[in-house]
Structure 1
């Protein structure tokens, strides 16, 4: 048997914890013959290194980051835990998968009540990282989203890199937007989702959440690894 370790950031938010648990439950339903366990890089336990150490004693192991882009946690925390054991594999993060853009578009339609209007603009609101690969991942996600919605899409970051989300929201208004919608490029409620909510957009979409399509992304990353 192969164990899929679904490794998320971790959060103090009860809603965020529940969302990730629900997403992992959907993943289990998709691959019932695969053992699926959770691990975390911060805030919550068990930590990724200890989960890998235990799982590798009995099974082949694939770690799927429940993260949306390459960054410190994928390149350091998860990679370090994976390198400790020969044969443990690390999948790609989720954010550049085409289905993620579809979920973003669905969340945006819900936020606007289903109807786009002239003067709408979208800010793809991402957590942020100074890692060039992470920036490229977010740009890929933005390009995929542009192909699915009729409004222009720019990018704002919650941390590490400019433009920050409030700046991107204001820039969209300065460019003539009558309504600015922040597309929450976050997986679940928590710290970064709170920053998106507080960034000054007229409307904010819900996090990607425990959507069946997100579970399909996790399974696809697992199988590809």
Structure 2
């Protein structure tokens, strides 16, 4: 029996660095899964998801390269998955224990100190299910570090990251843990929110390559269908 193809669907970005990170994640996931793999988007970049699923026959698993559910998963990806037989969409990358591991590692590398306060900064969505998933990640991160952890959003939800940073401001530093997948618009909004320290997007490894644990999550989503 032919194994389903893998369709990796990200938001899309104008950032060359962000595009490179996403493409590297897709390439690493393709190597792990070992099936024909397609890279596609819901906005900004092409080819977009409807074009891609119409371009080939046979079964496929669509894995959203998105950290939380929202409009794009329910509308764009949902529409594509229901467009013909043999297509199925998985859940988003988050929440996942590996994402929390990455956050903990990034905070440690940033020199997190006693007395710091942490703001988990997500891209944001107006959909309540997105906030619920981010809260799961916040709670899991708070269970791993002694510093208090709150949430802020770059767009589409409140509190905004800048407001969360201002609210957290006390005697110590405010450290933003970026819960954004790749460099680009949302990562720039997070970086400009006024924190003392901001960690890199989750998909960008410290050496500038793609974070391999993201590809592992993609492979796990594919295998779990």
Q: What range is the shorter-chain TM-score in?
A: over 0.9
Deviation of the 1:177 alpha carbon: 4.8
Stretches of structure 2 that go unaligned for 5 or more consecutive residues are: 204-209
Q: Structure 1's 122 and 53: CA in aligned 2 closer, same or farther, altered over 3 A?
A: same
- Give structure 1 stretches of 5+ with no counterpart: none
Q: Look up the match of 2:59.
A: 60
Partner of 2:139: 143
CA RMSD, aligned part only?
Answer: 1.1
What is the match of residue 11 of structure 2? 9
Q: Which residue of 2 aligns with 1:27?
A: 29
Q: Give matches, 1:64-103, under 5 Å.
A: 64-103=63-102
Using structure 1 for the length normalisation, give the TM-score: 0.93
> What SS is found at the alignment partner of 2:81?
helix
Map residues 27-46 of structure 1 onto 2, 5 A cutoff: 27-32=29-34, 34-46=35-47
Q: Return 207-216 or 190-199, whichever deviates more.
A: 207-216
| Aligned residues between the structures | 217
Q: Distance in 2 between matches of 1:103 and 1:190?
A: 19
Q: 1:159 offset after TM fit, Å?
A: 1.2
Partners of 2:184 and 2:161 in 1: CA distance? 16
User: Runs of 4 or more off by more than 4 Å in structure 1?
Assistant: none
Shift of 1:111: 2.0
Query: 2:121 maps to what in 1?
Result: 125
Look up the SS of the partner of 1:22 in the other structure.
helix
Q: TM-score, normalised by structure 2?
A: 0.93
Is the CA contact (8 Å cut-off) linking 2:6 and 2:30 kept in structure 1?
no
Name the CA distance, whole Å, in 1 between partners of 2:23 and 2:214: 13
Distance 1:87 1:31 in 2: 18
Residue of structure 2 equivalent to 1:166: 162
Shift of 1:86: 2.0
| Alpha-carbon separation, structure 2, partners of 1:65 and 1:45 | 15
Deviation by residue 1:32-91 (Cα, 9 ceiling, x = unmatched): 2x1111000001000000111123x1x311100000001000010110111111231000
Partner Cα distance (1:105, 1:213) in 2: 13
**How far apart are the structure 1 equivalents of 2:184 and 2:177?**
15
Q: Of residues 192, 196, 207 in structure 2, which corresponds to 1:202? A: 196
CA contact (8 A) 1:16 1:190 kept: yes
* CA distance in 2: counterparts of 1:148 and 1:177, whole angstroms: 22
